[in-house]
Amino acid sequence: MKHQPFDNWLLFDERLTPDQSQDLDQHLQDCGHCRGLQQSLEGVANFFRDSSEIEPISGFADRWQIRLKQEQLGVVAARHRWQSWITLILIANGVSLLGVLLGMTFFNTFDSLTELFMVSVYRLTSLLTVINIFQNLLAIVIRTIPGLLSPSGWAILAGIVSAGSLIWILSLARLARMPGRA
Amino acid sequence: MNDNEAVWLAKARAGDDDAFTHIVEAYQKPVFSLCYRMLGNAGDAEDAAQEAFLRAYRHLNRYDPNRSFATWLLSIASHYCIDRLRKKKLPSFSIDNEAHDWWQPPDPGPTPEAVLVMDQKHRRIRELLDVLAPKDRAAVVLHYWYDYSYEEIAESLAISESAVKSRLYRARRALAENWQTQESQMEMIESNSTERTPYETPAF
Ligand SMILES: [Zn+2]
């Protein structure tokens, strides 16, 4: 049996002309397939329309407000993170730019690599000479100082320094324990 | 839209969270219901409904006051549920056991039989809708539960009216087939239970 156009009419659920309605009724009387389809469609539609609206658990709006606050806090935190990153990137860019400029100025003062090498060797030699002088001075001081005080004098000086340190540490600990200070 | 709603919306647009909370209270039921029909369980529906309201709040400046606020809001909820179903790509209607936790009984409190009937009804709806593609399901939900015209569905789902018609055509065929299967299964169960004598046990 031919089911078209009746099958489509049923499934499109559109308004039919009186003639079409009559044809459909006639076909439904003869055709079990289309009658079954029509009954199923009606069954589904009635079943859906009879089912009530579903409610959320009470307090939905309160839970929404909490979620909104959480989201707003998250947005603020994300904004702060972004600001920190942007600041960091700007600083890094500034430092690299400064480095490049300094490098360029440094290289421009020398005409060749040989000259640069010579100057570097000269600077290094001067630095080593200065270190040597300081080392000699320190040796003289170390040899002289023990003679300035008698052994008992050194013991008294060490005692005073230890007592001073102890008082300093104790006062720091007391300050840290004071209420109102984290 | 009533006057109160217009005032709340105006205040909410100016950044008043409490004003929008009135909107949430007024629309929680239809939005939750739509999400429940779309996603099939109360946990996902709650999450989706909350998210839909958040999105509406965030994009309130995009709402055209000349249009229906309900349509705009339900459109946001529908799109969110469609996306969620597509991302999940899992059978969304598999969780049955939480029905009693969320179902809010009508006053006065229902009898256990009424709760059971309601549970069976919801389960059957889930099974029927489960065979539909996300957008087809949204079209069906808006058409049958919200009485939306083809034009309104088209506007809500951002598709053409002819696309709505063809989606509903396809959905109706699938629903009718599914319905017939359910009916024949139920008939079989009924005939089995009436044929069994009182001395027989189901195990034998
Ligand atoms: Zn036929």
How confident is the model over A60-71, as pLDDT tens digits? 999 999 999 998
Task: Name which residue leads in pLDDT, B73 or B195.
Answer: B73
What span, in angstroms and rounded, lies between the C-alpha atoms of B104 and A59?
12
Residue-wise pLDDT for B51-80, tens only, equals: 999 999 999 999 998 999 999 999 999 999
Residue A33 sits in which domain range? 6-49
A38 CA distance to ligand 1 middle (Å): 10
A52: which chain B residues are within 8 Å (Cβ-Cβ)? 106
A43: three-class secondary structure by DSSP:
helix
Which of A180 and A25 is assigned the larger pLDDT? A25
The pLDDT value recorded for residue A182 is: 37
Give Cα B170 distance to the centre of its chain: 19
How many domains does chain A fold into? 2
Chain A residues inside the 8 Å CB shell of B122: 51, 54
Among A59, A87, A109, the domain boundary falls at A109
Backbone angles phi, psi at A46, to 5 degrees: -65, -40
Rounded to the nearest whole angstrom, what is the distance from the C-alpha of residue A18 to the centroid of ligand 1? Answer: 19
ipTM of the complex as predicted: 0.79
Q: Is residue A95 part of a domain?
A: yes
Q: Is A4 on the interface with B (CB under 8 A)?
A: no
Alpha helix segments (H runs only) across B68-130: 69-88, 99-102, 112-129
Nearest to B102 by CA among B144, B156, B44, B26: B44
Asked if residue A79 and residue A44 are part of one domain, the reply reads no
Give domain status of residue A123, yes or no.
no
Average pLDDT value over all residues in chain A: 87
Mean pLDDT of A70-74: 88
Q: Do the Cβ atoms of B116 and A70 come closer than 8 Å?
A: no
- Taking each helix axis from N to C end, the angle separating B17-39 and B3-13, rounded to the nearest 10 degrees, works out to 110
CB contact under 8 A, B50 and A57: no
pLDDT value, residue B167: 97
Q: How far is residue B23's CA from residue B9's CA, in Å, rounded to a whole number?
A: 8
Q: Is residue A126 part of a domain?
A: no
* Interchain CB distance below 8 Å, A61 and B28: yes
Put simply, the chain A residues between 34 and 53 with a CB less than 8 A from any chain B CB are: 36-37, 40-41, 43-45, 47-49, 51-53
Instruction: Show the tokens assigned to B137.
Output: 């399901």
Does A29 map to a domain? yes
Residue A50 contacts residue B95 (beta carbons within 8 Å): no
Q: Which of A92-101, B127-136, B186-195 shows the lowest mean pLDDT across its residues?
A: B186-195
Q: State the average pLDDT over residues B167-182.
A: 96
Q: Please check whether residue B170 is in contact with residue B148, taking contact to mean a CB–CB distance below 8 angstroms.
A: no
8 A C-beta contact, residue A40 and residue A69: no
Q: Please report whether residue A176 resides in a domain.
A: no
pLDDT at B106 over 60: no
Calculate the CA B113 to chain-centre distance: 24
Q: For residue B99, is pLDDT > 50? A: no
Of the ranges A111-115, B174-178, B181-185, the best mean pLDDT one: B174-178
Q: For the ranges A76-80, A122-126, B4-8, B62-66, which has the lowest average pLDDT? A: A76-80
Tell me the C-alpha distance between B84 and B93, whole Å.
13
Per-residue pLDDT at B184 exceeds 70: yes
How many angstroms away from the CA of A40 is the closest CA of chain B?
5
Task: Return the pLDDT at B94.
Answer: 43
CA–CA–CA angle B60, B104, A51 (5° rounding): 85
Our separate counts of H helices and E strands in chain B read: 9, 0
Distance between CA atoms of residues B10 and B22, nearest Å: 12
pLDDT at residue number A81: 85
Compute CA distances A115 → A63, A100, A111, whole Å: 75, 21, 7
The kind and range of the H/E element at A87 are helix A60-108
Arithmetic mean of pLDDT over chain B: 85
Two tokens at B197? Answer: 């004598």
C-alpha distances (whole Å) from A118 to each of A29, A114, A121, A125, B9 are: 112, 6, 5, 11, 78
| Within-domain flag for A37 | yes
Two tokens at A67?
């979620």
With respect to residue A56, please indicate whether it lies within any of the assigned structural domains.
no
Is residue A103 domain-resident?
yes
| Rg of the Cα atoms in chain A | 47
> What is the three-class DSSP state of A169?
helix
Tokens of A76: 């603020």
Lowest mean pLDDT among A45-49, B66-70, B134-138, B190-194: B190-194
A55 three-state secondary structure: coil
Residue B92 in this model has a pLDDT that exceeds 60? no
